Amino acid sequence: MDDKEKITPEEADAAKEAPEAEAPAGEEKTEPSQDEELRKKYDSLNEKYLRTLAEYDNYRKRSIREREAIYPEAKADAAAAFLPVMDNLERALEAESEKTPFYDGVVLVKKQLDEVFAKLGVEIIETQAGDAFDPRLHNAVMHIEDEGFGENVIVEEFQKGYRIGDRILRHSMVKVAN
């Protein structure tokens, strides 16, 4: 080797510390494109995350609404199942009988059922002869022609109606004059 080709140790260290020669123009663009790719990937993942978060929040709110709607439905269905029991107790009390301990027991059972209905918010739909017929509250099972009554006026109630708040458990069964 020539003296011209020999590299001193100081020159070798300086060459290592010196920045490498600039890469051709095509190679410079790869580094920013990697940054752009990473940015796009980050944006995509971030968008998926935000959508998933929003979807979960909507699911949570929907399930809360559904849970809140189930309780009134279940309460109304349970109360409606006891309406025939109430009807039978009322019929038993209307029957002509002596005031025996059995009769007193039926009175106490009906009183207890009335208290349970009151705690559940079950109300009787008040219907009397002469009231106007309302198809939202009443079920007309009979029609009569009677000039003594006006049109669409209740003549008689056959079976009591019940409701919880705005929900009708059972319509009042009535006879209506036309």
Q: What pLDDT shows up at residue 151? A: 86
Under a CB-based contact definition with an 8 Å cutoff, are residues 173 and 133 in contact? no
36 lies in some domain: yes
- Only one residue has tokens 């705690």, namely 119
Q: What pLDDT shows up at residue 11? A: 61
18 lies in some domain: no
Q: What pLDDT shows up at residue 130? A: 86
Q: What pLDDT shows up at residue 136? A: 94
Q: What pLDDT shows up at residue 129? A: 87
Q: What pLDDT shows up at residue 25? A: 52
Q: Are residues 129 and 178 in the same domain?
A: yes
Overall number of domains in the chain: 3
Under a CB-based contact definition with an 8 Å cutoff, are residues 161 and 124 in contact? yes
Average pLDDT per run of 10 along the chain, which is 178 residues long? 57 55 50 85 96 97 94 93 95 84 91 96 92 93 86 91 94 92
20 lies in some domain: no
- Domain that residue 172 falls in: 125-178
Q: What pLDDT shows up at residue 10? A: 63
Q: What pLDDT shows up at residue 53? A: 96
CA distance 164 to 118: 10
